Structure 1
Amino acid sequence: MSESTSLGHRLSRIRGEASAGWRAFVRRRTAVFFTFFFPAILVIIFGALVSTDPTGGGLFAEPAGYYVAGYVAVVVLFTPLSRMGSEVARHREGNRFEKLATTPLTRGEWLLAQTAVNAVIITIAAALILGLVVALTGASISLSPLVIAYVLVGVVCFCGVGTMIGSYTDSQDGAVAASNAIGLPLLFLSETFVTLDQLPAWFEPVVSLSPLTYFARGVRILTYDGAEHAPVAGIDPAFGNLLVLAVIALVAFWLGARSIPQTES
């Protein structure tokens, strides 16, 4: 079999699994509703009702545009963690990976197909969130094609993490609980809604360990004119943060694919 034929078969398998995954998502109306409803509620509560106070103090002391990256981060973080965690756990409970092992579809291809579905869902959700933020908060934002790159790379990263959560928890409920336990601290300790000067000085190095930090910093640079960040390893921060996030995403995806069980006893 030629290399081009083998690649064509692989793409066909991935496309078929992605198509099945998309149909499964749209059939679950509750999942569709909360995928878009949850981040919208955050924008309404924190962006429109609580609002920001640039001249004062407190949690939302920055201009509205500063928090755009945080709102987008909500979708990029929680949707892959919860969807992939519960999806993998559901497959394990139904012994579906045992059936998968009898097909040509590899674990990596399965994860890539699921990641593609999440990428479409989250790109749509992120676009809706951006529109909602501008409409409700009056934030002035600038857009760059790199924002899409950040969203896609972020999806790859957290799909990998979500897959590991689903692989190592004992049930769907456990996967959802673990996703929230991991996601909530990451959300507020990754320069999304809480700035570094609001955290203890000793905690600042810990923030740099979160992949969401590099997502938030990069998206903020691209969407908020007042963002200031130093170069990353001598590279322009808009590209440097994306590079760091991409490296983490590749590692997370690889670990996620490796964690998927081939069979269930």
Structure 2
Amino acid sequence: MTATGRVRAEFDAAWNSFLRRRTAVFFTFFFPVILVLIFGALVQTQPTGGGLFAEPQTYYVPGYLATVVLFTPLSRVGSEIARHREGSRFEKLATTPLSRTEWLLAQTLVNVVIIGLAALLILALMVVVTGAEIPLTPGLLLLVPFVVLGVVVFCGLGTILGSVADSQDGVIAASNTIALPLLFLSETFVTPELLPEWFGPIVNLSPLTYFSRGVRALTYESAGLGDSVVVNLAVLAALAVVFFAAGAYAIPRTD
């Protein structure tokens, strides 16, 4: 079997495994929906009113997309690694031609499909429920590589967490501990003006920051293929390579 065939077989197995977990399927899509409904429709934004959610609805599109790009890969891939370790599956995988890189690639592709569908749902809700005005320009297609690269980054990070945590509970605790600060401190829901001046350079250390800046340039600033979009996409691509490689290396050969 070729490498493509091995990745496809693992993709099919991982995809079917996800569909069999109906609770996981439900909450994967329910969480971003309820977030949009609460903050976008109930709390709503108050432009020029000051404080949190003081920007127009479209400004927060990157934040809502970040919830699935960040949380879903961290928890899903991390938990999958933990389950494989507890079930001694990596010892069995070590006897097959499937490499660690191919296994992670298949898991990442599954997450790309899942999160891509969730992102489309979020964008539709933002337009229909909150009235966000997202410009329908050719440049909007660049959302696809931003989402894909963001998923790759956090699949890699989730793999590392799953490899070092001692249980599935440990993975969930670690992923939440990392994801919650990143979600609010990466130029998503909290504008840079609301943060202390000394915190500015720290924001640049978050991979999610480059996702947020690039997506905002496309959906809010209508920058098209401007410098902001290109630079943030390039940084995110470099980070995706680094995190994917680190994740593949971190996958245990045995349990």
> Does the TM-score normalized on the shorter chain lie above 0.5?
yes
Following superposition of structure 1 onto structure 2, how do residues 108-187 of structure 1 map, counting pairs within 5 Å? 108-143=101-136, 144-187=140-183
Q: State the alpha-carbon separation in 1 of the partners of residues 90 and 241 from structure 2.
A: 23
Alpha-carbon distance, 1:226 to partner: 7.1
Gaps of 5+ in 1: 1-7
2:43 maps to a residue whose letter is V
1:224 aligns with 2:220: yes
- Structure 1 segments of 4 or more deviating over 4 A? none
Match of 2:67 in 1: 74
Out of 237, 241, 244, the residue aligned to residue 228 of structure 2 is 237
1:201 aligns with 2:197: yes
Q: State the alpha-carbon separation in 1 of the partners of residues 74 and 212 from structure 2.
A: 17
The answer to whether the 8 Å contact 1:65/1:140 transfers is yes
TM (norm. structure 2) is: 0.96
- Partner of 2:45: helix, strand, or coil? coil
2:168 maps to a residue whose letter is Q
Q: State the alpha-carbon separation in 2 of the partners of residues 203 and 85 from structure 1.
A: 29
1:66 maps to a residue whose letter is Y
1:19 aligns with 2:7: no
Q: State the alpha-carbon separation in 1 of the partners of residues 113 and 32 from structure 2.
A: 16
Q: State the alpha-carbon separation in 1 of the partners of residues 159 and 222 from structure 2.
A: 36
Q: State the alpha-carbon separation in 2 of the partners of residues 23 and 45 from structure 1.
A: 31
The answer to whether the 8 Å contact 1:85/1:166 transfers is yes
The answer to whether the 8 Å contact 2:135/2:222 transfers is no
- Partner of 2:135: helix, strand, or coil? coil
Equivalenced residues, count: 251
Out of 256, 260, 263, the residue aligned to residue 254 of structure 2 is 263
Alpha-carbon distance, 1:181 to partner: 0.5
Q: State the alpha-carbon separation in 2 of the partners of residues 90 and 186 from structure 1.
A: 25
Point out the more displaced range, 11-20 or 235-244: 235-244
TM (norm. structure 1) is: 0.93
The answer to whether the 8 Å contact 1:108/1:257 transfers is yes
User: Superposition RMSD on alpha carbons, in Å?
Assistant: 1.3
Q: State the alpha-carbon separation in 2 of the partners of residues 218 and 55 from structure 1.
A: 23
Identity of aligned residues (%): 67
1:55 aligns with 2:48: yes
The answer to whether the 8 Å contact 1:18/1:117 transfers is yes
Q: State the alpha-carbon separation in 1 of the partners of residues 28 and 161 from structure 2.
A: 19
Gaps of 5+ in 2: none
The answer to whether the 8 Å contact 1:141/1:225 transfers is no
- Partner of 2:129: helix, strand, or coil? helix
The answer to whether the 8 Å contact 1:142/1:225 transfers is no
